[in-house]
Structure 1
Amino acid sequence: MVAANDATAAEPQISAWAPLRTAVYRSLWLALLAANIGTWMQTVGAQWLLVHTSDASTLVALVQTASLLPMLLLALPAGALADTFDRRHLLIAVQLFMVAVALGLTLLTAAGRMPPALLLTLTFAFGVGQALTLPAWAAVIPELVSREQLRSASALGSISVNVARAVGPAVAGVLIARAGVAPVFGFNAVAFLVFALALARWRPGDARAVEVPERFTAALRAGGRYVRHSPTVRRLLRRALVFVIPASALWALLPLVASRRLGLGSSGYGLLLAALGVGAIVGALLLPWIRTRMTANQFLLVAGVLYGATLAVVASVRIIPVVLVALLPAGVAWVAVLANVNAEIQLFLPAWVRARGLAVYQVVQGGGQAVGAFVWGVVADFGGLVTAFYVAAVLMLIGALTSQIWPLPDLRGVIKDPAVYRPPLSLVLEPDPRIGPVLVLVTYTVRPEREAEFLAAMDHIRGFRQRTGAMRWGLFRAGETPDQLTEVYLVPSWDEHLRQHGGRLTEADQQAEDRARELAEGAPEVRHLLPAAADLAMTDHQAAA
């Protein structure tokens, strides 16, 4: 179990700009910034097309839902694809798909043939592209920067999104006022093309160390199994969800606040989003400073209170400058929570499952925003805007207080570098990698005075066996020899078990197993039970003998 982070982290402060010194990362980050600006311009354009329709509250909120719902549906398959295939090629193909969607949206809008249903459908298509992009891009970042710079790279990712959030809506508001919505969609097509070209120019130095790619369905199951059996990842995801659901009210309903409560046009709405974006940029830049002065759980509490206060101000105040000032701390809080959670997950996940684990994080964040946007739109339709914001503010404050119940874990000292399994496999029969299931038995001899410590060590082993491939796990005592304890676990295929021995085991897992072996008498006896009808062959060594 990873301890809660109740102390100030004694870490060297690394500048948020440090990763930009790497030329490859810098060029890709700038291209992604252009794509993010185009995405925010597209969102503003889509929402503004629907502001004056009937049932505007629900339709405007559904723009957020349509763009984020694919994250809920597709992020885990996208993570499996990113861990299975070449991430660069996958990213290029997805960007070209979004160029085509953006061009179609531009032409149809210019021709006046863009009903709400089609607009939401094409917005959903953009969401599909984003769902396929984000896990692959997040998994690429550790290949571009050092581990020490990962938190700074995460902050730079937030800066990119929020610079886009500040610039994109403002530019979109001006374009909509002067030339209509179609040019906004056209800019989005160009932005995706720029990112695709930057990816095409990038040439990774070394191929990923995966001898045989995992099959897609097996990779999908393995990713879900890892998250399901990782208490640390589940704790981080829970914290993100508790924040995102009430926070999504602001993003979903801000267009209606601009038009109905503040009497603003498209440029005014862009100004409100720009205030949120500026606050988020400030938050990303302050994040290294915040980490040296507050514990993670303290700033979770402060961020929740700040965001809840903003929701209350937006609900009760009609003075534009006051609302603009109130949106700044909301942007700071948004980044302080989500950028930190994202960085912690990146640092914790081992390389073999990084894209799939980050995909689950995107499911939680994007799915929480999508579901939250729809819920807050319905609440606003039935109870009014003010009621929706007050309810969201109360939920935000309650969620902030739960940081004392579900604190962020302390990941300092957790070693996720890959390790080599000891001892190596030595079977007389060589099974086909596809056969399964495979039953593994590991028998230890343990003295009674060491049994309590041994059982505690085996509890850690149970966790990493299940995270790396075991479908079932148990620890049994032999009735005839009470000092013998047998670990039994079931793996879906021989290939999965081979991956447990090479690539999936981390140094932290290896330390846990070494501890169990130290508490036992002698080396444990290991047996691998294979299906009786399996395709088996003698190993080269046995055949020669």
Structure 2
Amino acid sequence: MVTAAAGPADRPASAWAPLRTAAYRNLWLALLAANIGTWMQTVGAQWLLIHHSNASTLVALVQTASLLPVLLLALPAGVLADNFDRRHLLIAVQLFLVVVALALTLLTVTDRMPPALLLTLTFAFGVGQALTLPAWAAVIPELVPQGQLRAASALGSISVNVARAVGPAVAGVLIARTGVAPVFALNAVAFLIFTYALVRWRPGNARAVEVPERFAAALRAGGRYVKHSPTVRRLLRRSLVFVVPASALWALLPLVAARRLGLGSGGYGLLLAALGVGAIVGGLLLAVIRARLSANQLLLIAGVLFTISLTVVGAVPVVPLVLLALLPAGMAWVTVLANVNAEMQLFLPSWVRARGLAVYQVCFAGGQAVGALVWGLLADVAGLVLAYLAAAGLMLVGTVTSQIWPLPDLRTVNRDPAAYWPELHLAYEPDPGVGPVLVTVQYTVQPERTQPFLVAMDLVRGARQRTGAMRWGLFRPAETTNLFVEVYVVPSWGEHLRQHGGRLTGEDRQAEERARELTDGEPEVRHLVPAAAGPTLRDNDEGV
């Protein structure tokens, strides 16, 4: 597989270019406020638990409760974002998050916040985040030009990490002076700001939503696409092998601050601020660095830096050294995730973008949630130092795999929608719900072209399965040497019409054209529907 490499033809957009688009700029600033509120809440929730028994596990469970809903709900949320108006969905979810933040505030003020209830409300907040992420990620390619997507992804990481630097610092000051309740209250205000920005936003070219797919069918279609897309699976693996060991840094940092470094809430906020500053610097330098290094070289360097950071944070109880180690950790974090996230946005076609990004978020959040729990349990049993060293070892192993599973090169891949199949000429129109539908395509291929034809049809198979085929096969009649019959099954007639009308891309078209060039004449296509779904003899009699 050809892998990503930098070159003059691939010059990245300026890091700030997307902010020149007013709609993106306004929403980015509002989301920054919401991200700051989210980090303030995380710090507040963790600090409420720091003095309980089994604090290692409870503090780690805050991150697990925040991220587990993404693991459980991201794909259904992606279905909703692909089938309904994303702006309206985002507004409704932000109002729900405001309500959850207000509940956290009132219960904390009245001193009715046991650990179980705190984790439950944190989980509810995570539900709202899970519903937000796919819709927002799918909106970004509609807000900025394609050439600015990598810069927009880096700006998204900068937003998160500015929030990671500012939110904990503000939360630390507030907790030290006024307690945790004001932190939760400010989080409610932050999400009101994001809601207001969404209400004011009027998309210039509102996305036309076709008749929504049935929920279960849309869910299966998204799963099929990921299952049969080697590129998406490669990107998911790269995310997962980085996030699982990296989650130890976030999950156990409050305990490092309190137990190994003797810091209070303000000191913990300072540690998170160092991580955030490193990530901001990494995001700003990413465009410049990407012009000089390939994406896979960046992955290798980032993995080594994070390994060193984990080792220092876990093993060296010296505040200045830990602060210095957290700076490159932040840079490495944004480098890996901004690259992988941008590649996903560039590769996924619009019809399944939210669902594909949701699967990415499942891997990202699931890796963090499960990793946080594992590292928390290991720290309780074996101690913080051993937990961090184990995470550093796993990170190093994962970094080596970047040479085995490198990022693919997407610069020459045509992802534009392509409705190139000929118009259907049918004796009757089946109902969209009728299925399954069996499609057969008969090709005539000369014997000397057989082997290259089989290779070309393997690419066609991938396109059919990504866009709707449940089963696919290529057969040849035993009675002749130059006929091949492609057979594939689609769940319903409506699903097949979606293949015709928007699911195929320029890359799919190129694959099919390569196969067609090796055949004689036009292929013969038949669509077989269940016999009961066809016109009956009485129907024909009445029509005469």
Question: Which band: TM-score by shorter chain?
Answer: over 0.9
Contact 2:57 2:376 in 1 (8 A): yes
1:298 — aligned with what?
Answer: 297
Q: Which moved more, 1:129-138 or 1:213-222?
A: 213-222
1:182 — aligned with what?
Answer: 181
Cα distance change of structure 1 residues 344 and 544 upon mapping to structure 2, 3 Å threshold: farther
Q: Say yes or no: does 1:48 pair with 2:47.
A: yes
1:282 — aligned with what?
Answer: 281
Q: CA deviation at 1:487?
A: 0.4
Contact 1:226 1:466 in 2 (8 A): yes
Q: Distance in 1 between matches of 2:314 and 2:515?
A: 57
Q: CA deviation at 1:421?
A: 2.5
1:84 — aligned with what?
Answer: 83
- How is 1:209-220 mapped onto 2 (pairs within 5 angstroms)? 209-220=208-219
1:261 — aligned with what?
Answer: 260
Q: CA deviation at 1:321?
A: 0.9
Q: CA deviation at 1:10?
A: 3.9
Contact 2:6 2:292 in 1 (8 A): no
Contact 1:85 1:213 in 2 (8 A): yes
What letter matches 1:313 in structure 2? V
2:166 — aligned with what?
Answer: 167
What letter matches 1:208 in structure 2? R
Q: Distance in 1 between matches of 2:211 and 2:476?
A: 37
Q: CA deviation at 1:5?
A: 2.5
Per-residue CA deviations over 1:147-175 (Å, capped at 9, x if unaligned) read 01111100000000000000000000000
Contact 1:249 1:389 in 2 (8 A): yes
Contact 1:446 1:520 in 2 (8 A): yes
Q: Distance in 1 between matches of 2:393 and 2:349?
A: 37
Residue aligned with 2:353, SS: helix
Q: Say yes or no: does 1:307 pair with 2:271.
A: no
Structure 1 gaps of 5+ residues are none
Q: CA deviation at 1:537?
A: 9.2
1:63 — aligned with what?
Answer: 62
Q: Distance in 2 between matches of 1:377 and 1:333?
A: 22
Residue aligned with 1:305, SS: helix
1:118 — aligned with what?
Answer: 117
Residue aligned with 1:485, SS: strand
1:504 — aligned with what?
Answer: 503
2:23 — aligned with what?
Answer: 24
Residue aligned with 1:475, SS: strand
1:453 — aligned with what?
Answer: 452
Q: Which moved more, 1:69-78 or 1:12-21?
A: 12-21
Q: CA deviation at 1:193?
A: 0.8
Q: TM-score, normalised by structure 1?
A: 0.97
Q: CA deviation at 1:235?
A: 0.2
What letter matches 1:501 in structure 2? H
Q: CA deviation at 1:427?
A: 1.1
Q: CA deviation at 1:204?
A: 1.3
- How is 1:88-487 mapped onto 2 (pairs within 5 angstroms)? 88-487=87-486
Q: CA deviation at 1:206?
A: 2.4
Q: Distance in 2 between matches of 1:180 and 1:74?
A: 32
Residue aligned with 2:10, SS: coil
Contact 1:429 1:537 in 2 (8 A): no
Contact 1:432 1:536 in 2 (8 A): no
Contact 2:150 2:342 in 1 (8 A): yes
What letter matches 2:318 in structure 1? I
Q: Distance in 1 between matches of 2:419 and 2:2?
A: 26
Contact 2:5 2:293 in 1 (8 A): no
Structure 2 gaps of 5+ residues are none
Q: Distance in 2 between matches of 1:155 and 1:273?
A: 19
Q: Distance in 2 between matches of 1:223 and 1:209?
A: 19
Per-residue CA deviations over 1:416-440 (Å, capped at 9, x if unaligned) read 1001132221111200001100000
Q: CA deviation at 1:298?
A: 1.1
Cα distance change of structure 1 residues 210 and 86 upon mapping to structure 2, 3 Å threshold: closer
Q: CA deviation at 1:13?
A: 3.0
Q: Which moved more, 1:114-123 or 1:12-21?
A: 12-21
Cα distance change of structure 1 residues 536 and 238 upon mapping to structure 2, 3 Å threshold: farther
Residue aligned with 1:519, SS: coil
Q: Distance in 2 between matches of 1:504 and 1:74?
A: 24
Contact 2:282 2:334 in 1 (8 A): yes
Contact 2:6 2:290 in 1 (8 A): no
Q: Percent identity?
A: 76
Q: Which moved more, 1:288-297 or 1:336-345?
A: 288-297
Q: CA deviation at 1:246?
A: 0.3
